[in-house]
Chains A and B, each alone.
Chain A
Amino acid sequence: MEIMVCVKRVPDSAENEIVVKGDGSDIKRDDLVYSVNEWDNYAVEEAIQIVDRVGGSVTVVTIGNEDSEEVVRREMAMGAHKGLMLVDPAFEGCDGRGMAAILKAAVQQGKYDLVLTGAQADDGAGQVGAMLAALLDWPYASLVNLIEVKDGVLSIGREIEGGNQEINEISMPCVLSIQTGINEPRYVGIRGIRKVASVEIPVLNAGALGLDAAGLGPAGARVKRLDYFVPPAGVGAEMLQGSTDEIAAQLIDLLKAKGGLK
């Protein structure tokens, strides 16, 4: 099975305190720790496991700039066979649909049976995989937490409300967005990264993808981000102050009063 996995390099919001720039034009990115989007990492692991079972190859693709290479290489170190980078100044400022159009062009240059994306990334939109499927006119399923390869179809589980799982059969080729927890992504060590350090990763721009740059970027975006801001804080929590001892003592009094100590 030929599988493409779409990945994105993002600020790791679990490790970073995200701060908005004074003019609201962006977040402060200089000191942020970047990594592969967590959901995408599960998607790459799942693709590798499928190919281990049924054969084929995994191609990791990203839209970004030269900084994105580290993310592609990291996923190749996990076991993805090929990398592909889609880089062009014209890609900046695309909305979700623009991103999906770029990925569609990359998908159509290969012969893929399955495209995986993470269920969402740093902006929480969860849209690009679904839009890619619509542009390709392939079937789609979101929030996938189980994939079994059957004869010509995939049996998949979707995570739905309440922790329940919705089982579906979906024909190929198709696009699936992967939910965290579907597997346990393997650890990547320095040695693994060194092994793939010299593997060549093709870089394609708009021209190479057969895309008209004029229709991309902000010009083609139906949805534009105007600013970043932090909403005025509500009353919020009463923050306990003092030494650890003092804070613990205050907390114990509060827990007692509220029935939190039995």
Chain B
Amino acid sequence: MAAQVFAFILHKDGKADDSALELVAAAKKIFPDTPPIAIVTGAGAALDAVCQEMAAAYPQVWKFANEVLAYPNAEIIRPLLLKVLPRGGVLLLPQNTFGMDLGPGLSVKMDAAYVPDAVAIEGLDGATLKVVRQEFNGQVSTHLACDISKGAVISVRAGCFPAVEARSAGGLVVDKSADAGGLSARRRFVEVLQAEVGDVDITKEDVLVSVGRGIGDKENVPIADELAKAMGAVVSCSRPVVDAKWLEKSRQVGTSGKTVKPKVYLALGISGSFQHMGGLKGNPFIVAVNKNPKAPIFQVANVGVVADVLEFVPELTEKIKEAK
């Protein structure tokens, strides 16, 4: 089957997102012999810079320049892609807040299959693509059989497909801006509000005591405060703790929170979703305490303790105080 495969390139400030080279690798898993075409939308000099950057990794780059594309609004980009993608085409997207906004609806409009958040692609047999996803917050995986005879939109999880190194040979940038005229949407982008700055900057701390849903209640947060105080650390948290308003948003580690680079990370009652781990960089020493021995955090931690946070942490705090 010789369907065309495309990769949607996200970019910011004239630089392509990390996903751009990972999508090349994912595309190879579907059609090893058909190199993907990069699709880059935007406006001005920043767009041209990204197109040149992508021409080093993709043999062909489709450029769509128009002022209405200056900010990536999925509601505008969807009708554009619908117009320019060939029938039966396969489009790869990064699984992020843009991909989630664009992909599922695009697949419906293309009458194509949709595979969200692929973590592995096992290959194509006829028109059936076998893909691996995760469910239940990463606790189990599934194989999907996906009929791509009418095309597909596949979103790819960050970090699951090792980025293909850019080649030196330059690819061809094809200016398709003529197709980007007359676009409109019933959703208008207004502005981006930057995240609030909190009382402490967790991105600059070497030792973080991070609490998750397992802390159970706001009343229990002082248990983590005490431990952090004894260790000389700062308290951070995972998303459910912020949703429950137990701690400020500025303390949240993860793709929808802060990206931190501590030396030591103590994860208390944190399951270890990929969104949380996505905010933890710099290869820290990770200690996980969780009552669920199957929690995904134990796959990525260096040291694990199966215990109830509320029972174990106060004892640990006492021991640390004694040891001083």
Name A's B-contacting residues (CB within 8 A). 11, 13-14, 17-20, 27, 96-97, 100, 119, 122-131, 133-135, 139-143, 155, 157-171, 174, 180-181, 184, 222-231, 233-234, 236-240, 244-245, 247-249, 251-252, 254-255, 258-262
**B315 close to A248 (CB less than 8 A):** yes
**B104 close to A225 (CB less than 8 A):** no
Q: Assuming the A-B contacts A236-B298, A237-B301, A259-B264, are A97 and B142 also in contact, with contact meaning beta carbons closer than 8 angstroms in the complex? A: no
A sample of 7 more A-B contacts (CB under 8 A), given A18-B136, A131-B105, A245-B315, is: A141-B101, A162-B259, A226-B142, A237-B288, A239-B304, A239-B305, A247-B307
**A-B pairs with CB below 8 Å: how many?**
267
Task: Pick 25 A–B contacts, CB within 8 A, sort by A.
Answer: A14-B137, A17-B139, A100-B108, A124-B136, A139-B185, A140-B105, A143-B101, A161-B96, A165-B192, A165-B195, A167-B192, A180-B239, A222-B146, A223-B115, A226-B144, A228-B141, A230-B140, A234-B299, A238-B303, A248-B319, A255-B264, A255-B266, A258-B263, A260-B287, A262-B232
Q: Assuming the A-B contacts A143-B101, A248-B316, are A223 and B147 also in contact, with contact meaning beta carbons closer than 8 angstroms in the complex? A: yes
Q: Assuming the A-B contacts A131-B105, A259-B264, A260-B207, are A254 and B192 also in contact, with contact meaning beta carbons closer than 8 angstroms in the complex? A: no
Question: B231 is contacted by which of A174, A247, A260 (Cβ under 8 Å)?
Answer: A260
Query: Which residues of chain A have C-beta atoms less than 8 A from B320's C-beta?
Result: 252, 261
Query: Which residues of chain A have C-beta atoms less than 8 A from B73's C-beta?
Result: 168
Q: In the complex, A167→B10 CA distance in Å?
A: 19
Chain A contact residues, majority secondary structure: mixed
Question: A27 is contacted by which of B137, B140, B266, B312 (Cβ under 8 Å)?
Answer: B140
Question: A160 is contacted by which of B192, B231, B307 (Cβ under 8 Å)?
Answer: B192
Chain B contact residues, majority secondary structure: mixed
**Chain A proximity mask over B227-247: 1 for CB below 8 Å, otherwise 0:** 000011100000110110100
What residue of chain A has the Cβ atom nearest to residue B102's Cβ?
A130
Query: Which residues of chain B have C-beta atoms less than 8 A from A184's C-beta?
Result: 245
**A163 close to B258 (CB less than 8 A):** yes
Indicate if B116 sits at the interface (CB-CB under 8 A): yes
**A124 close to B188 (CB less than 8 A):** no
What residue of chain A has the Cβ atom nearest to residue B137's Cβ?
A13
**A251 close to B101 (CB less than 8 A):** no
Interface centre among B103, B114, B189, B255 (most CB of A within 10 A): B114
Name B's A-contacting residues (CB within 8 A). 73-75, 96-98, 100-101, 103-109, 112-117, 130, 133-137, 139-147, 150, 185-195, 206-207, 213, 231-233, 239-240, 242-243, 245, 249-250, 252, 255-259, 263-264, 266, 271, 285-288, 292-294, 298-307, 311-312, 315-316, 319-320, 323
Q: Assuming the A-B contacts A228-B140, A231-B141, are A262 and B255 also in contact, with contact meaning beta carbons closer than 8 angstroms in the complex? A: no
Query: Which residues of chain B have C-beta atoms less than 8 A from A228's C-beta?
Result: 135, 140-142
Query: Which residues of chain B have C-beta atoms less than 8 A from A142's C-beta?
Result: 97, 100-101
Query: Which residues of chain A have C-beta atoms less than 8 A from B249's C-beta?
Result: 163
**A254 close to B144 (CB less than 8 A):** no
Query: Which residues of chain A have C-beta atoms less than 8 A from B312's C-beta?
Result: 244, 247-248
**A123 close to B190 (CB less than 8 A):** no
**A261 close to B231 (CB less than 8 A):** yes
Q: How near does chain A come to B269, taking the closest CB pair, in angstroms? A: 10
**B285 close to A258 (CB less than 8 A):** yes
**A260 close to B243 (CB less than 8 A):** no
Query: Which residues of chain A have C-beta atoms less than 8 A from B104's C-beta?
Result: 96, 126-131, 134
Q: Assuming the A-B contacts A131-B104, A240-B304, are A251 and B316 also in contact, with contact meaning beta carbons closer than 8 angstroms in the complex? A: yes
Nearest first, the 4 closest Cβ-Cβ pairs linking A and B are A262-B232, A237-B304, A260-B264, A130-B104
**B115 close to A262 (CB less than 8 A):** no
